Amino acid sequence: MTGLIRSWIGAANEADCPFPLNNLPYGVFSAGDEEPRCGVAIGDRVLDLAALQSAGLVPDHGFASPALNPFMGAGPQAWAQVRRTLTDLLRVGHETDAVRAALHDRAAVTLHLPFHVAEYTDFYAGRHHAFNVGSMFRGPENALPPNWLHMPIGYNGRASSVVVSGTDIHRPLGQTKAPEAQMPGFGPCARLDIELELGAVVGMPSQMGRPVSVDEADAMIFGYVLLNDWSARDVQVWEYQPLGPFQAKAFATTISPWVVTGAALEPFRCASPPREKELLPYIRDTGPMLYDIDLSVSMAPQGCIPTVLSRTNAKALYYSAAQQLAHHASSGCAMRTGDLLGSGTISGPEEGTHGSLLEMTWGGRHPITLDCGRVRTFIEDGDTLALHGHATGDGYRIGFGPCSGTILPAMTFP
């Protein structure tokens, strides 16, 4: 595995820095009253790509726009070229006044949604999560649907509800029905949950009617974000049969502000778990397709320090993002630049590695006592939930930045 690539920006060389020169994740930022534009996180700074573009130091890939889509749509060759150029500009011993002038203090800028989300699809690609949830509702013997070991199951979500980390989320309203009730009721969700996921960001589009191979799908993916698909579990239970999640998942999905590229994660590829059923050729593994990324979830009620609820790893997934994308396009569905694919909840096999409160509390039957002494089964108003993730290299980390949101009370009808 490649060691730390040293930068002339000192903070980027610290072992626990999430944004070393090995990473170079892309995002969108603004400074003061200036317009949002594209940037790169390096150490404790943000490098203004629009300024570098104006100075002729990087090619014109639309970096002055408030979204990464023009650059993502330029394709793998452009991605590789810009990464090489930025690495050279920021490498130790290569400091210049032009690049220094394009740096901003990361703590002083505002981060925005990094790309225009064309479409959003959420998968169900974590076997441990699927088994746990299925066991709660159908028993262990019928936990996995009959198709689960043959293809990545997913549903189409709402691109309009994808927001950047730090955005407050109002508790959703919805229709629910208690088991003993004769009629459903309507009101604020009482069993609000999170889902710890990895989101794949599609850079290159595909043609309608044309399927893509797993290797082609892998090359289409620009990068990855942490993703929290907030979930209204009581709404979900009442509405999901026969067609699946709808309002329970439509109100909010939070992503981290930096898109970590496939190139930065390449050293951390790892193999998929053993297959209980052989996959059909169109989604069969072609090599190591998962990533060794440590993940965690924390909760902080208002006025309290965060409590880490769970630690897991992205290699616990059963299907890779490339397999999800290949399956998505296999019907001839056209994929677009800016499509976002959620992995589904990432859970490990044992207690302390679950990616949802539904699993951590086993449907609310086993409450959690936080470090501050407060007790939770699901999320209450004022709670802040945060996802964290990083891959660990030789003397460096590849981090995503936080993926957090605070729950506000439900809004009422006018």
Catalytic residues: 129
Give the count of alpha carbons within 13 A of 156, CB side only: 7
Residues ≥6 apart with Cβ < 8 Å to 96? 89
DSSP for 240-258? -TTT--SHHHHS-EEE-SS
Structure tokens at 198: 């990895």
In angstroms, rounded to a whole number, what is the distance separating the alpha carbons of residues 243 and 171? 23
Contact 175, 240 (CB under 8 A): no
Helix or strand run (H / E) with residue 81? helix 76-90
Q: Which amino acid is at 34?
A: E
Burial class of residue 161 in the structure, from the number of CB atoms within 10 Å of its CB (0-12 exposed, 13-18 middle, 19+ buried):
middle
Return the SS3 of 157: coil
- Three-state SS for 223? strand
Q: What are phi and psi of 357, to 5 degrees?
A: -65, -30
Q: Which of 179, 256, 176 is nearest to 223 (CA)?
A: 256
Using an 8 Å Cβ cutoff, are 28 and 36 in contact? Answer: yes
Q: How far apart are CA 134 and CA 128, in angstroms?
A: 10
CA distances from 147 to 210, 266, 277 (A): 23, 30, 10
Q: How far apart are CA 414 and CA 408, in angstroms?
A: 17
Decide: 281 and 326 in contact? Cβ < 8 Å.
no
